[in-house]
Amino acid sequence: MTFIRLFTGISIFLSLSLLSNLHAQNIFPPLGAVGVNTTTPFYQLEVNGAVALGGSGFNLDQNGSNSDLTHLQGTARVLIGWNRSGGNGETDFITNTLSNLPGGFSFWNYSSSGVTTNLMNVFANGNVGIGTNNSDFGYKLAVNGNAIFNKIIVKPYPWADYVFRKDYHLPSLDSVAKYIETNNHLPGMPSTDSVAKAGIDVGANQALLLKKIEELTLYVIEQKKELDELRRQVADSRRHRSQ
């Protein structure tokens, strides 16, 4: 009996040792956190390394078997899949937000010095915030910082070519001068205070600037006509005196 017990103990020890060597970096407890390539998982599932997800079970196509998302309601969970837009091969992140909460997706950076920085947010209403987690701005894209574009197109805005129509009333230069003296800015243009408070609508401001350029062009054309008329009168006067 002693020999059997000793042999059994050695067998169990060897089995546990081999199992420990084979899965030294993994932990699969019946309860608690699961760790893959780590024996000290902090989260319910922690993988130290790359993870590949895929297969037909992740197809969230509207016509697929996984298109029903009612199981997410009221859970605040995130579902990851693909083809939600109808077979375009995209990766989909679908989140269910609780009532009266902005929800969505947030991207953060945690530095080696322990500083947490919010990088970008995609809110449940479709608004995107870069460098800000404020969802109350009311814009589809809010950027807290500088932005650079190779090209930007803003539309639609009524363009200012109506200034050249025959029925357009061109303000007199005297009235423009009086307005500037009173308000310290051009008629129809935003004031310094309004720009400081609300910023500038780029599309609308471009249309306003074009309007002022076109009005200025009309003033110049009118001034040229008057100058040409004065030159003609001077030339006629000299001709009469020479006769």
pLDDT tens digits along 116-170: 999 999 988 888 999 888 776 778 899 999 999 999 888 867 899 999 999 999 9
- Give the pLDDT confidence score for residue 11 in this predicted structure: 47
Contact yes or no for 94/118 (Cβ under 8 A): no
Q: What mean pLDDT comes out for the span 214-242?
A: 91
- Give the pLDDT confidence score for residue 240 in this predicted structure: 82
Could you tell me if 228 and 195 lie in one domain?
yes
17 or 65, which is more confident: 65
125 or 111, which is more confident: 111
- The C-alpha atoms of residue 191 and residue 186 are separated, in whole angstroms, by 9
- Give the pLDDT confidence score for residue 169 in this predicted structure: 95
20 or 220, which is more confident: 220
pLDDT-derived band at 173, boundaries 50, 70, 90 = very high
- Give the pLDDT confidence score for residue 86 in this predicted structure: 66
At 81, give phi and psi (nearest 5°): -160, -155
- Give the pLDDT confidence score for residue 62 in this predicted structure: 64
What's at 184, amino acid-wise? N
Could you tell me if 82 and 109 lie in one domain?
no
Instruction: Give domain status of residue 110, yes or no.
Output: yes
Could you tell me if 168 and 209 lie in one domain?
yes
Structural domain count, the chain: 4
- The C-alpha atoms of residue 242 and residue 238 are separated, in whole angstroms, by 6
- Give the pLDDT confidence score for residue 31 in this predicted structure: 84
Could you tell me if 41 and 85 lie in one domain?
no
Lowest mean pLDDT among 78-82, 87-91, 205-209: 87-91
49 or 69, which is more confident: 49
pLDDT-derived band at 59, boundaries 50, 70, 90 = confident
Could you tell me if 25 and 69 lie in one domain?
no
Instruction: Give domain status of residue 221, yes or no.
Output: yes
Instruction: Give domain status of residue 9, yes or no.
Output: yes
Instruction: Give domain status of residue 215, yes or no.
Output: yes
92 or 44, which is more confident: 44
Region of 147 (left: φ > 0; alpha: ψ -120 to 50; beta: rest) is beta
Instruction: Give domain status of residue 115, yes or no.
Output: yes
Written in H, E and C, the secondary structure of the chain is CHHHHHHHHHHHHHHHHHHHHHCCCCECCCCCCEEECCCCCCCCEEECCCCCCCCHHHECCCCCCCCCCHHHCCCCCEEEEECCCCCCCCEEEEECCCCCCCCEEEEEEECCCCCEEEEEEEECCCCEEECCCCCCCCCCEEECCCCCCCCCCCCCCCCHHHHHCCCCCCCCHHHHHHHHHHHCCCCCCCCHHHHHHHCCCHHHHHHHHHHHHHHHHHHHHHHHHHHHHHHHHHHHHHHHHHC
Could you tell me if 107 and 92 lie in one domain?
no
CA-closest candidate to residue 160, choices 223, 91, 214, 103: 214
Q: How much is the CA Rg of the chain, to the nearest whole Å? A: 36
pLDDT-derived band at 7, boundaries 50, 70, 90 = very low
- The C-alpha atoms of residue 135 and residue 121 are separated, in whole angstroms, by 9
Could you tell me if 83 and 113 lie in one domain?
no
Residue 66 has pLDDT above 80, yes or no: no
Could you tell me if 171 and 223 lie in one domain?
yes
CA-closest candidate to residue 27, choices 40, 18, 16, 14: 40
Could you tell me if 165 and 231 lie in one domain?
yes
Instruction: Give domain status of residue 28, yes or no.
Output: yes
Instruction: Give domain status of residue 153, yes or no.
Output: no
- pLDDT, one tens digit per residue, over 210-227 is 999 999 999 999 999 999
Domain limits at 109? 101-148
β-strands 128-130, 141-143 pairing: parallel
168 or 78, which is more confident: 168
pLDDT-derived band at 5, boundaries 50, 70, 90 = very low
What's at 126, amino acid-wise? G
Structure tokens given for 240: 């009469």
Could you tell me if 33 and 63 lie in one domain?
no
Could you tell me if 8 and 66 lie in one domain?
no
Instruction: Give domain status of residue 155, yes or no.
Output: no
Could you tell me if 107 and 77 lie in one domain?
no
